[in-house]
Chains A and B, each alone.
Chain A
C-alpha cells in the first residue's frame, strides 16, 4: 500500500482548476518531486497534503486513512517552507524543540532529541543562537531539523533551496540526499528547477496547468519524455516538426520538412501519416567537419550560427539548409582547446537512428 495516496484530487479557484483530477501514489521512503513551471498547481497540491487547503473533489489518504477531517496540526506531515519560517523570537534549539513541546514530550527527551538532530544537520555549535544570526544555508538546516525532529510520516519541502545561491544550493542538494537516506522519511519536494529534480528524486511528477503530464524515474523523464511539453520543459531539446512515413516495430521513418528522411526509434501506436515532432537532446547530436560522421544514419550539413562556451562543454547552434537550428554539445576534453568550430564554419551534424523520440504534439 502506498504511504501517501492522492486520489482524483481537484482544486478550483473560481473557474480555473489549479489542480485538475490528479492521482499520485507515493511509496514509503521515497524522495518524490513535484516539478513544473510556476502556476502549474504544485504548491496548491502541497498545501492540500499539509492540510492548509482542502480538495474540491477527490481525497488524500495517508496510510489508507482519509485526511479530509484532520487539521494541519494533527497530521503527521511537516513542511519546510520556502522562507524557512523560523520563529525569530526563539533560539535555534527552541525552534527545533517546538514540535516536540507541542507533542507534549518530556523535557529530558526534548533535550536529547534536539541535540541529536542538531548533530544530524551539523549545527551542534549554533543551538543558542537566534535565526537572524545565521546564514541562509544554516537557516535552511534549522528549518529541516525542526521539521524532522519528531519524525513525521511525510516531509513536504516547498522550494526549500530557492533562496540560496548556486554553490550553496548544490551543497544543500547533496546534503538533502544524504539526510533523506539517513532518516528514511518520505520526502515530497516541490520545485521548478529541473536539474534539482533530476538530481534528487527517486520519481518525478511533471505538472502543467494542474495536471500530471508524466510520472516516472528521472532517467525515463529525461530520456523518454511522453510529450512535447515534458521534452521541452526538462533539459534542452531540439524539436523538429515531422510526419510519419513508415512505422514498424524496428523503427520509424520520418519526414522532416526541408531536411528529408530521418530514422527514429519505434514508438508504440505511431501510424503512417501521423504528424508530430522529433525531440532530440543536444548531447545526442554529434558535430564534426563536413567529411565526418558518414557512418551515422541521420546526417546533415549546415553552418555554425552561434556558440556558447561554458567551460566543460560548448553548445553549437547549427543552422540547417531548411532554416532549422539544431543544438549540439561537444565536450572540451582536449586540453587548452576552447572551441573546435567558429561561427560561420561549415559542419556536419548527425545522430544515431535510435536517438531521439517521436512525440505527438
Chain B
C-alpha cells in the first residue's frame, strides 16, 4: 500500500535532523579516525600531508601504527588490564546493586520513586568533583585511614596507602557506575509477577530456591543490560585512573589521551581508539546475544 505523500514528508522532517546530526558528528568523524589511523603524524601534532611537499617528508598512508600495536606486548597488556578492571568493576557493581534493586522493587509502590530518586541523585553533582572527593576519602590523611595506620604502627607495621593504587581505581569506578547497574536491574525486577514466587513456595521451594530458580534466571536480561552499561564506559575511562590511580594503573583510555594530548601522535591515538571500539563492539555483540537468549524465554 502506498503511503500518502504528506506522511512521507512528515517522516523525513522528524527523522531528518537527528539523522543528519549523527551523520555529520558521528559517522563522518569515525570515518576520519579510520583514515587518520593509517596516516603519519604531523611535525607539531596533527597529521602529515597525504602528498609529500618536500623531500624526505613522511606522507601518504601506512599501517605502521597497527604494526607497533601488534609488535609490542605492552599494548596488549594494557588492553587486557583495562578489560580486567572493567570486568571487576562490573562484578562488584552487580553484587552491590542486586540486593538494592531487589529491595526497591519489593518496596511499597509509593516508596519506590523516592528510592530511585536517591539512586540517581549523585548525577546532580559534577563527576570530577565526586571523584576528587574520593581523593580525600582515600588519602593518607583521611579520617578512615589514619586510625588504621595508627593501630598498625603500634605493631611496628608500615602504614598502608590506598590512594594512587588499583584499589582506589576500582572504588572510584564502582562508585561512579553503580547507578547504571541498579536502574536496569530494578526495571527488570519490578516487572516480575509476584504470583510466581507464591507458586514456587507452594510447590515446596524455600527462600534460597525461590531466588536462584525463579527470581535470578528471570532477571538475566536486566543483568546483561546493566553489565553492558557499566562494562563499556569503564573500559574507555581515563579520568578515574588518572586521578585515583598510580602510573601502573593506566588503562587504554589514558594511552589514547596521552597520544593526542601528550605525544601529539594523532594517528597512533586514532589507531588505539579504533582497537578499543572494536573490543567494545565485540563485548556489546556478546551481551546483546546473551540478553536475547535470556529474553527469548521470558
A-to-B contact residues, CB < 8 Å: 50, 52, 71-74, 77-79, 81, 83, 85, 87-89, 98-99, 102-103, 130, 146-147, 150
- Which residue of chain B has its CB nearest to the CB of A85? B199
A103 touches B204 (CB 8 A): yes
Closest to A99 in B: B203
Q: What residues of B have a CB within 8 angstroms of the CB of A71 in the complex?
A: 201
Which of B196, B198, B204, B298 is close to A102, meaning CB atoms less than 8 Å apart?
B204
Partner of A85 from the list B196, B205, B213 (CB cut-off 8 Å) is B196
Let me know if B218 and A81 touch, CB within 8 A: no
Q: In the bound complex, do residue A102 and residue B218 qualify as a contact, i.e. CB atoms below 8 Å apart?
A: no
**Given A81-B199, A87-B196, A98-B200: A73 touches B298 (CB 8 Å cut-off):** no
Q: A98-B205, A102-B203 are in contact. List 16 more A-B contacts (CB 8 A).
A: A72-B201, A73-B202, A73-B204, A73-B206, A77-B202, A81-B199, A83-B195, A85-B195, A85-B196, A87-B199, A88-B218, A89-B217, A89-B218, A89-B298, A99-B203, A102-B209
Chain A residues with CB below 8 A from B217, complex form: 89
Encode contact with A along B165-206: 1 for CB under 8 Å, 0 otherwise.
000000000000000000000000000010110111111111
Task: Tell me whether B203 and A78 are in contact (CB under 8 A).
Answer: yes
Residues on the A chain within 8 Å of B196, using CB: 85, 87-88
Q: Interface size of B by Cβ–Cβ distance < 8 Å?
A: 19
B202 touches A89 (CB 8 A): no
On chain A, the residues within 8 Å of B199 by CB distance are 79, 81, 85, 87
27 A–B pairs (Cβ distance < 8 Å), ordered by A: A52-B201, A52-B202, A71-B201, A72-B198, A72-B202, A73-B202, A73-B203, A73-B205, A73-B206, A79-B199, A81-B195, A83-B193, A85-B193, A85-B196, A85-B198, A85-B199, A87-B196, A87-B199, A88-B298, A89-B298, A98-B200, A98-B203, A99-B203, A102-B205, A102-B209, A130-B297, A147-B203
Whether B201 pairs with A87 at a CB distance below 8 angstroms is: no
Q: Mark B149-177, 1 if CB is under 8 A from A, else 0.
A: 00000000000000000000000000000
Contacts of A147 on B, CB cut-off 8 Å?
203
B137 within 8 A of A: no
Residues of B within 8 A of A85 (CB): 193, 195-196, 198-199
Q: Which partner residue on chain B sits nearest A130 by CB separation?
A: B297
Check if B239 is an interface residue, CB within 8 A of chain A: no
CB-CB < 8 A to A74: which residues of B?
204
Contact B297 A89 (CB under 8 A): yes
Q: Which of B231-279 contact A (CB under 8 A)?
A: none
Which residues of the partner chain B approach A130 to less than 8 Å between Cβ atoms? 297
**B residues with CB within 8 A of A:** 193, 195-196, 198-206, 209, 213-214, 217-218, 297-298
Judge whether B203 and A146 touch: CB under 8 Å. yes
Contacts of B297 in A (CB 8 A): 88-89, 130
Complex CA gap A146/B193 in Å reads: 18
Q: Which A residues are in CB contact (< 8 Å) with B213?
A: 87, 98
Q: How many angstroms from the CA of A50 to the CA of B200 in the assembled complex? A: 12
Q: How far is A18 from B194 in the complex, measured between Cα atoms in Å?
A: 22
B294 to chain A minimum Cβ distance, whole angstroms, is 8
Q: How far is the CA of A288 from the CA of B218 in the complex (A)?
A: 65
Identity of the chain A residue whose Cβ is nearest the Cβ of B202 in the assembled complex: A79
Contact, CB under 8 Å: B198 / A81? yes
Residues of B within 8 A of A50 (CB): 202
Greatest chain B CB density within 10 A among A52, A98, A150 is at A98
From the candidates A78, A87, A99, A150, name the one contacting B214 in the complex (CB within 8 A). A87
Chain A residues near B214: list those with CB within 8 A.
87
Expressed in whole angstroms, the Cα–Cα distance for A71 and B200 within the complex equals 13
Q: A72: which B residues are within 8 A, CB to CB? A: 198, 201-202
Bound together, the chains give a CA A71 to CA B214 distance in angstroms of 19
Q: Which residues of B contact A103 (CB under 8 A)?
A: 204
CA distance A81 to B297 in the complex (A): 21
CA distance A147 to B202 in the complex (A): 9
**Given the interface contacts A88-B297, A89-B217, does A73 sit within 8 Å of B201 by beta carbon?**
yes
A166 and B298 alpha carbons, distance in the complex (Å): 28
**Nearest B residue to A47, CB-CB:** B198
Contacts of A79 in B (CB 8 A): 198-199, 202
What is the minimal beta-carbon distance from A68 to any residue of chain B, in angstroms? 17
Q: Which residues of chain B come closer than 8 Å to A77, judged between CB atoms? A: 202
A254 vs chain B, min Cβ distance (A)? 50
The smallest beta-carbon distance between B103 and chain A, in angstroms, is 22
